[in-house]
A and B are shown apart, each in its own frame.
Chain A
Amino acid sequence: MNDTLLEVSDLSKHFRSRWGLASALTGQGRVIPAVDGVSFYLKQNETVGLVGESGCGKTTVGRTVLRLTEPSGGRIVFGGRDITHLDRARLRPLRREMQMIFQDLDAGLNPKMRVRAILREALTVHERPGDAEIERRIRELLEQVNLKESKLANFPSELSGGEKRRVGIARVLAVRPRLIVADEPTSALDVSIQAQVVNLLRDLQKHLGLAYLFISHDLPVVELVSHKVAVMYLGRIVEMGLSETIAREPRHPYTRILWSSVAEKHTAETTTAKDIGGVFDFEQPTRGCRFAPRCPLYQQQGRPAVCTDPASEPPLRDVGNGQVVACHFA
């Protein structure tokens, strides 16, 4: 039996920036490849972590996978069906199976509705259960997200950050999804509350067999919750593998720098993070490998021509043990 829930191949999303005289005259904007040839798959009961700096396209991947943003190219197969070009009407029944948790705690919580009404709405979007059934489901949801029944009468503004997050999760669970894209689910929360939410998401996965696409810049948390981790840089996956391999034996120089910046903070030992210069910029695309201008390995190797050869952007190459790396030298 094939339990692959989501398969994304060669996904790309280009945004057009219409700004400046040239684009006004020609009617053509500069194309910003926010996501460029991303492929991965997700099984039931599995979590894939997506990490990278802000602007690397990780949120765009999450949104495009759910068709909240239209893809520019590639294929998205969900539950064995190609949903890349499915029209709205046919997508609608599938929407309930794939949900998103947004970074913003207030996203999806109508400020004028009480918690009970918010959950009731979510329960009745796709089906028409009776009142008794709704009550039963609301109680079940509260239990699942560990929220007190007394909160049902509250408005979102009367809830704390952790409670808002729980209501947001309950709302998503109401439609019984199979896939949840969690975009920075903990970053707006206090440290002591973050751990509660991480535990909650993992418990829910255990009990409901959910698949998560877990987007976060908090590397230790990603490492903890994910089975596989994909590292993105400038719209591309540069390395992907089992989370412990990515964290402990990273091959791509960018992954190494990313993880060493965490290790450095924890162990007070100095590493290479300070050597990495510059900031990436979509608007000045580099030739060849996109990471070359910031790459310490490129410098060490004596700036080999292959790294900046326009014809050879390094492809993801299998290095065994389920790990793939996009680097000529790693």
Chain B
Amino acid sequence: MLLSIENLRTYFYSRSRRAFVRSVDGASLSVGRGETLGVVGESGSGKTVAALSAAGLVAGSPGVIGGRIELKSRNLLDGIERYVKVEERDGRVMAAEKDERGWGRQVRRLMSGVRGKEIAMIFQNPRAALNPYSTVGAQLVETIRLHTNLKGKHEAKDKALHWLERVRIDSPRLRFDSYPFGMSGGMCQRAMIAMALCAEPSLLIADEPTTGLDATIQARIVELLRELKDGTGITTLLISHDISVIRRLADRVAVMYAGTVVQSGTASQVLRPRDSRQHPYTAALLASVPSAETIRAKSALQAIEGEVPDTTSVPRGCRFYGRCNRVTDAVRSRCANLEPPLSEIEPGHKLRCWLHAA
């Protein structure tokens, strides 16, 4: 495994509610070399915070409080237990104290030479992530000279142009001297992708790379990511709420709900429509988007009742229990009171559901 995240907990203290927002609450994810792992989930499910934790970019208090994050067998949370004191009851964190300044120094030590070089990120709003005062070319050259062994200006420029071509920006020589504000959203996203990849990172984290772009542009960005994946074999952690994007790009898929992974497996295992070997949440999510049949029959969409849960008060049992439509009398009391374990139902395919518990 190139990246493995185990039992990660990233909490934020909410003063107004006097409680922890358990953004990531015991999530485990792993990405193999050359593989694309798609993480799907709704807003607040913890997918972005999990990725930010891996890149050591969590801002807020207390932030990461436990777990393991390993990149190429290097522990990126090395020594976290020395900085955090956690009070647990029944496997739930009740209180946490963290030496944040000390941990901040430790993160800088651990992440030097990792962030930007080993782990590169692309974000939802590319224009916000690019420096508005600097041309696209200058930003690329800076990244290349910083992170690769091409230190000369001219060779770095050649490399930058090569990457602009690679992400199919038209007239790359012209765009090299453009500022981000002079480019469309799709172009900025391409420039952002070039910037992430030019350092030749081992892991690319793509957080909602197509969200906010127009439908036709989205399709082209997905096409580009697909092409780059086949061409460079880059390992990718792809985060999206859009199942269709995940379907197009991911080899394996993890479904997150309320801070934990409720299902993971190969893309075909997880995204199989109308399969009984699925987490009820995944099944409901797949059914809630209009399918060809729904449109033809003009029938009602199968909505998931209720609301996305508030992670300040995580229920005792299964986190999806309140909205689940598959619960049977045989498992009801367990669902309501005990959090189901993540159990493997077929090779490589794991579910967190009492209906499928071994």
Chain A residues in the interface with B (C-beta under 8 A): 53-54, 160, 162-163, 190-196, 198-199, 202, 217, 219-221, 223-224, 244, 247, 257-258, 260-262, 264-266, 268, 270, 273-274, 276-279
Give the chain A neighbours of B241 by CB distance below 8 A.
Answer: 190-191
Q: A191-B42, A198-B301, A199-B301 are in contact. Are A162 and B215 (CB under 8 A)?
A: no
Of B223, B248, B290, B300, the residue contacting A223 (CB under 8 A) is B290
Give the chain A neighbours of B218 by CB distance below 8 A.
Answer: 261, 265
B297: nearest chain-A partner, CB-CB: A224
- B336 → chain A closest CB, angstroms: 21
Contact A224 B301 (CB under 8 A): yes
B186: nearest chain-A partner, CB-CB: A279
Give the chain B neighbours of A260 by CB distance below 8 A.
Answer: 219
Contact B303 A192 (CB under 8 A): yes
Give the chain A neighbours of B302 by CB distance below 8 A.
Answer: 195
- Give 20 pairs: A residue, B residue, CB < 8 Å, sorted on A: A53-B216, A54-B214, A192-B284, A195-B288, A195-B289, A195-B302, A202-B300, A220-B290, A224-B294, A257-B216, A258-B215, A261-B218, A262-B244, A264-B222, A265-B219, A265-B242, A265-B247, A273-B219, A273-B220, A274-B220
Contact A160 B308 (CB under 8 A): yes
Q: Once the chains are docked, how many angstroms separate the CA of A276 from the CA of B186?
A: 13
Give the chain B neighbours of A198 by CB distance below 8 A.
Answer: 301, 303
Of B223, B243, B248, B289, the residue contacting A274 (CB under 8 A) is B223
Interface assignment of B43: CB less than 8 Å from any CB of chain A = yes
Interface assignment of B304: CB less than 8 Å from any CB of chain A = yes
Give the chain B neighbours of A221 by CB distance below 8 A.
Answer: 290
Q: Once the chains are docked, how many angstroms separate the CA of A106 from the CA of B298?
A: 30
Give the chain B neighbours of A163 by CB distance below 8 A.
Answer: 307
Pick the 3 closest A-B CB pairs, nearest first.
A261-B219, A265-B244, A195-B303
- B313 → chain A closest CB, angstroms: 14
Counting contact residues on chain B (CB < 8 A from A), the size range is: 35 or more
A contacts with B: majority SS: helix
Give the chain A neighbours of B42 by CB distance below 8 A.
Answer: 190-192
Interface assignment of B337: CB less than 8 Å from any CB of chain A = no
Q: A53-B214, A262-B215 are in contact. Are A192 and B285 (CB under 8 A)?
A: yes
B299: nearest chain-A partner, CB-CB: A224
Q: Once the chains are docked, how many angstroms separate the CA of A247 from the CA of B307?
A: 32
Contact A261 B301 (CB under 8 A): no
Q: Once the chains are docked, how many angstroms separate the CA of A173 from the CA of B285?
A: 29
Contact B245 A190 (CB under 8 A): no
Give the chain A neighbours of B295 by CB distance below 8 A.
Answer: 220, 223-224, 244, 247
Contact B307 A277 (CB under 8 A): no
Contact B308 A266 (CB under 8 A): no
Q: Once the chains are docked, how many angstroms separate the CA of A37 from the CA of B217?
A: 26
A277: nearest chain-B partner, CB-CB: B170
Contact with A along B238-253 (1 / 0, CB 8 A): 0001111101100000
Contact A199 B303 (CB under 8 A): yes
Give the chain A neighbours of B223 by CB distance below 8 A.
Answer: 270, 273-274
How many A-B contacts if CB must be within 8 Å? 104
Q: Once the chains are docked, how many angstroms separate the CA of A247 from the CA of B294?
A: 14
Interface assignment of B184: CB less than 8 Å from any CB of chain A = yes
- B27 → chain A closest CB, angstroms: 19
Q: A198-B301, A199-B301, A279-B186 are in contact. Are A193 and B308 (CB under 8 A)?
A: yes
Contact B288 A264 (CB under 8 A): no
Q: Once the chains are docked, how many angstroms separate the CA of A278 from the CA of B284?
A: 38
Q: Once the chains are docked, how many angstroms separate the CA of A279 from the CA of B308?
A: 36
A202: nearest chain-B partner, CB-CB: B300
Contact B216 A224 (CB under 8 A): no
Give the chain A neighbours of B219 by CB distance below 8 A.
Answer: 260-261, 264-265, 273-274
Give the chain B neighbours of A244 by CB distance below 8 A.
Answer: 295-296
Contact A217 B214 (CB under 8 A): yes
Q: Once the chains are docked, how many angstroms separate the CA of A270 from the CA of B248?
A: 11
Of A162, A273, A279, the residue contacting B307 (CB under 8 A) is A162
B42: nearest chain-A partner, CB-CB: A190
Q: Once the chains are docked, how many angstroms separate the CA of A160 from the CA of B311?
A: 13
Of A195, A262, A264, the residue contacting B304 (CB under 8 A) is A195
Q: Once the chains are docked, how many angstroms separate the CA of A211 from the CA of B137?
A: 51
Contact B300 A190 (CB under 8 A): no
Contact A220 B300 (CB under 8 A): no
Q: Once the chains are docked, how many angstroms separate the CA of A163 from the CA of B310?
A: 14
B219: nearest chain-A partner, CB-CB: A261
Contact A217 B290 (CB under 8 A): no
Give the chain B neighbours of A258 by CB distance below 8 A.
Answer: 215-216
Q: A54-B214, A191-B289 are in contact. Are A199 and B300 (CB under 8 A)?
A: yes
Of B242, B247, B303, the residue contacting A196 (CB under 8 A) is B303
Contact B215 A217 (CB under 8 A): yes
Q: Once the chains are docked, how many angstroms separate the CA of A229 from the CA of B241?
A: 26
Residue of A193, A268, A278 with highest tally of chain B CB at under 10 A: A193
Q: Once the chains are docked, how many angstroms separate the CA of A250 from the CA of B245?
A: 24
**Told that A219-B215, A265-B218 touch, could you supply 12 new A-B pairs with CB distance under 8 A?**
A53-B216, A190-B42, A191-B285, A199-B301, A217-B215, A220-B295, A244-B295, A261-B216, A261-B219, A266-B244, A274-B220, A279-B184
Give the chain A neighbours of B304 by CB distance below 8 A.
Answer: 192-193, 195-196
- B183 → chain A closest CB, angstroms: 9
- A56 → chain B closest CB, angstroms: 9
Q: Once the chains are docked, how many angstroms separate the CA of A277 from the CA of B307?
A: 40
Residue of A193, A196, A221, A265 with highest tally of chain B CB at under 10 A: A265
Contact A191 B298 (CB under 8 A): no
B305: nearest chain-A partner, CB-CB: A196
B301: nearest chain-A partner, CB-CB: A195
Of A220, A261, A278, the residue contacting B289 (CB under 8 A) is A220
Contact with A along B317-350 (1 / 0, CB 8 A): 0000000000000000000000000000000000
Contact B298 A224 (CB under 8 A): yes
- A167 → chain B closest CB, angstroms: 14
Contact with A along B163-200 (1 / 0, CB 8 A): 00000001000000000000010110000000000000
Give the chain B neighbours of A192 by CB distance below 8 A.
Answer: 42, 284-285, 288, 303-304, 308
